[in-house]
Structure 1
């Protein structure tokens, strides 16, 4: 019997047989990821209101770095450590996107474009160096560093897109939730019916979970005068934190299984 959360292994000539350091994109993965995006938005909003903005950003950056270092030193997938890192990326990614707009005065369209270009550059460098963007092939520190650079990019881009739609274009939070819920169905349906590649479909959906979750958090937390429910960012953050904890601690063990090098081609 495999031990609890035993890592899957990949047969890859470049790294040998090594444990995969990130989770499979299962239904639970996507639910936990969506909760992390809403949590990041709510925690960022709450911290900015209860702390001086500069202090909040510095604390967010410090927590992000600490969580990421902890994750990188595990060398295998540990659910609690991995999702803590994702949550801290959510908080810091939100702050980074907000700083670009508030502190630097960049329009949402400009910041979204800039983050999109940066994310494309990460993917290009990752592909040229490793020959794969598959999450099933994250078996070395270098690959994991590329993975987390892409994750940070998706959070920043997703935050900017969400703000652009809800605030810049004036759609509001409810309409934004509906829009991104529809858009996130595109990679799922494309993968199932239109032969979207699994790697493309994964990262497409990964970007869109951010504005979807953030729009939900804003809708729940913002006051009614701004189109929200008015629960407050603190309560929304607490609720999604509890949801994430419940999802992580109840994650079922997985059996160790072999994956072949064809995963490097997205299969």
Structure 2
């Protein structure tokens, strides 16, 4: 499982979104629009690439992380939607993406991303996974009162348990997606 790079890219995404919105002074709306536009442009590059191009792939991951964070923050901070609602909605959306992907392709494995439809399902799953991870992490640390220190321990422990489940023969696809989602709150707590 590639949790290390994912963890760093989600942390970079979180920090990048904050820097653009606050440090540069773009604000949340402009940051969201700029990052969504960049994400679309990089996704086009990613989809057109016939082979793995590291800088395109990882720039896509970082931009998806930023946009996923911005979606959750816009719902919570901008529209006042509770973290309970946004976490639930993103969980349902992620289940819907996985069901559609599995129904169409008979897999949700990251090892079979070799066609345009699979690439699109994969990118949709990543976007919703990161939005869900942001909402769930904020729900746990803020609304449920875990705080940052205990939140790091809880989400780090959940990643370790997921790794153990993989080690003892749990589904590699399932453990990958669980670990990927858990990197989001952990990355957010590492700021």
Give TM-score, length-normalised by structure 2: 0.95
Given that 2:28 and 2:74 are in contact with CA atoms closer than 8 Å, whether structure 1 keeps it comes out as no
Q: Provide the residue aligned with 2:146 in structure 1.
A: 171
Question: Partner of 1:76: helix, strand, or coil?
Answer: coil
Question: Which 4+ residue blocks in structure 1 deviate beyond 6 angstroms?
Answer: none
Q: Provide the residue aligned with 1:160 in structure 2.
A: 135
Query: Are positions 1:210 and 2:161 aligned together?
Result: no
Long gaps (5+) in structure 1 = 1-24, 218-267
Long gaps (5+) in structure 2 = none
Q: Provide the residue aligned with 1:34 in structure 2.
A: 7
Given that 2:28 and 2:70 are in contact with CA atoms closer than 8 Å, whether structure 1 keeps it comes out as no
Q: 1:77 to 1:170 in 2, by over 3 A?
A: same
Question: 1:191 Cα shift?
Answer: 1.6
Q: Provide the residue aligned with 1:237 in structure 2.
A: none
Q: Provide the residue aligned with 2:166 in structure 1.
A: 191
Which of the pair has more CA radius of gyration? 1
- Alpha-carbon RMSD across the aligned residues, in angstroms, is 1.1
Given that 2:32 and 2:67 are in contact with CA atoms closer than 8 Å, whether structure 1 keeps it comes out as yes
Q: 2:122 aligns with which of 147, 152, 175?
A: 147
Structure with more contact order per residue of length (Cα contacts < 8 Å, sep ≥ 6):
1
Q: Provide the residue aligned with 1:200 in structure 2.
A: 174
CA distance in structure 1 between the partners assigned to 2:7 and 2:27 by the alignment: 28
Query: Are positions 1:100 and 2:78 aligned together?
Result: no
